[in-house]
A and B are shown apart, each in its own frame.
Chain A
Amino acid sequence: MEATRVRQATIDDLLERVLDKGIILNLDLIIGVAGIPLIGINLRAAIASVETMIEYGFMQSWDEKLRQDAAGELRRKKLALAPGEAILLDMFGSHWYSDGIYRAWRPGRLYLTDRRLILYRQEPAEVLFQTPLAEIQGLMVKEETYFTGIQRDLLYLSLAAGEVVSLYAEDIGGLKSALEEKMAAMGRVPAGDFIPFVRDREIGDVIKERTVADGKMWYQVPSAGIYGPTWRSGWLYLTVERLLWWSDFDRRLGLEIPLGKIQGISLETRDLGGFLHNREVLTIVYRNHQGQEEALFSGEKEITPQWRRQIKEQVLDYEGGDFHA
């Protein structure tokens, strides 16, 4: 028989072959300095797949013992269900977890039972997320675009506590229809048309009305306590009822002006201090419980006039306001 050249030996093939055949290492090593032996190493190692080990009579009882232990452990760690609770759906899923500076997708197994929606991780065992079905107010599937340009469907649930959570599931369509069916059976129709306030995948309030425009905007946060007025970056939303500004810094709604309270909109060139000279600033004069207030926004040069036009149109359309053009 002649040795033939395998056109492409991959690292997987190599590993498989090595593990299948097994390696015996016999190593004698002396480390010395200046010709004087100082440290001696005498190493005997055998590396192989467990199947090969068992074949040669190694580790058999160990293998059995480990598997037995694992089975016992698993019975202990099984997801705790209430008596009579039945699992309807079971799939891989993950939950967007956010607490302080720790924000990440936490993967686990998603279970839909006849009472709850649970995301359970077995190792280490933890319930990552759960909600009773009765607390789900609305659900929506929305395509999220990653910064890499890849799109992925996510399931958003709004809960009774006013909280919005985002979940990823292997079969998001199946989960959505099963959830809807289950809720319909409980005599409830989930709201499907809410637009979650998703900013940087952090979720805050829910805008129930139609959004006209949204985009990146800087806002001069008025002085509070020892802090003077500060420019902060955020996201501006114009809806048919309100003008809302989301603060990227605080990760919450920083400003909310009902359209009816807006009294004037103007574009001015202002010196903002520091090295921000002659910036175009969108000034919105509005009424609040303290009297007249001024909100200053600054954004990209090209879009600021657009914002002014859009807000003006929206305010003029809005009835019952006291806008002075």
Chain B
Amino acid sequence: MLDIDEGNLKQGMLGLVIALVEIIKDALKTQAFKRMESGRLSEEEMNRLGEALMELDIAINQIKEEHGVAEAVQSVRDGLDDIVDEVVDKMVNPERWREELETRNIKD
């Protein structure tokens, strides 16, 4: 998933960093919506928050465009999502462990 060699070092590193920044940004965005819904923020604060998040979006997109790492970022995110999906799936359905173990035993 995180396959970094000399040729794609820049793509890989920058892609990784930006993917992490994006994940944090998405988490912040979700929390921002939560806060807005709570009704504790004033009108002015909501505007400010929305504007700042929007600018962050644009700035990140600009960096991705400039360095051509959009694909690398997406692949890092997909990879992380797959891992999370797998782990969550196993936690929700413990019987899958057994299934996996069994298939492994059959192979052996």
Contacts and interface: CB of A to CB of B under 8 A. Distances in A.
Interface of A: 3, 5-6, 8-16, 19-20, 49-51, 54, 63, 67, 71, 74, 92, 94, 105, 107, 109, 146-150, 152, 168, 170
A107 B44 contact: no
Contacts, number: 82
B58 A146 contact: no
14 contacts: A3-B93, A5-B92, A9-B81, A9-B88, A12-B23, A19-B31, A20-B34, A50-B35, A51-B35, A67-B45, A146-B66, A146-B68, A150-B65, A170-B58
B34 A51 contact: yes
Given A3-B92, A12-B30, A71 B35 contact: no
B45 A49 contact: no
A11 B74 CA distance: 13
Contact of A14 (B31, B62, B88): B88
B25 to A, nearest CB: 10
A150 B61 CA distance: 12
A51 to B, nearest CB: 5
B89 interface: yes
A11 B84 contact: yes
A123 to B, nearest CB: 9
Given A3-B93, A6-B88, A11 B66 contact: no
B85 A9 contact: yes
Given A6-B88, A9-B85, A92 B58 contact: yes
Contacts of B23: 11-12, 15
Closest 8 CB pairs of A and B: A148-B68, A9-B88, A10-B81, A15-B27, A9-B85, A51-B34, A11-B80, A11-B84
Interface string B64-108: 011110000000010011001100110011000000000000000
Contact of A12 (B26, B44, B62): B26
B21 interface: no
Contact of B93 (A5, A49, A74, A168): A5
Given A10-B84, A11-B23, A49 B31 contact: yes
B27 A16 contact: yes
A92 B44 CA distance: 19
Contact of A19 (B27, B58, B67): B27
Given A15-B23, A107-B62, A152-B65, A8 B85 contact: yes
A321 B98 CA distance: 90
Contacts of A168: 62
Nearest to B24: A15
A154 to B, nearest CB: 12
B94 to A, nearest CB: 10
Contacts of A9: 81, 84-85, 88-89
Contact of B62 (A10, A105, A147, A148): A105
Nearest to A8: B85
B68 A150 contact: yes
Contacts of B68: 146-150
B66 to A, nearest CB: 6
B59 interface: yes
A293 B56 CA distance: 55
B31 A50 contact: yes
Contacts of B40: 54, 63
B10 interface: no
Contacts of A74: 48
A51 B37 CA distance: 10
A147 B58 CA distance: 20
A5 B88 CA distance: 9
A5 B85 CA distance: 10
A80 B71 CA distance: 41
A146 B92 CA distance: 46
A10 B22 CA distance: 13
B67 A148 contact: yes
Contacts of B55: 92, 107, 109
B58 A11 contact: no
Contacts of A14: 84, 88
